[in-house]
Amino acid sequence: MVRTHLLLGSNKGDRQLYLDTAQMRIAELGTIAAKSSVYETAAWGYTDQPSFLNQVLALDTMLDPFALMRKLQAIETELGRVRVEKWGVRTLDIDILLFGRIVIEHDDLMIPHPALPVRRFSLVPLAEIAPELIHPTERVSIAELLERCEDALEVIKVSGNA
Catalytic residues: 81, 90, 93, 95
HSE toward the beta carbon, residue 51, CA cutoff 13 A: 13
Q: How does 107-141 read in b/e, with b if 16+ C-beta sit within 10 Å?
A: eeeebbbeebbebbbbbbbbbbbbeebebeeeeeb
Q: Which amino acid is at 102?
A: I
Burial of 37 (0-12, 13-18, 19+ CB in 10 A): middle
Q: At what angle do helices 15-27 and 65-78 cross, to 10 degrees?
A: 140
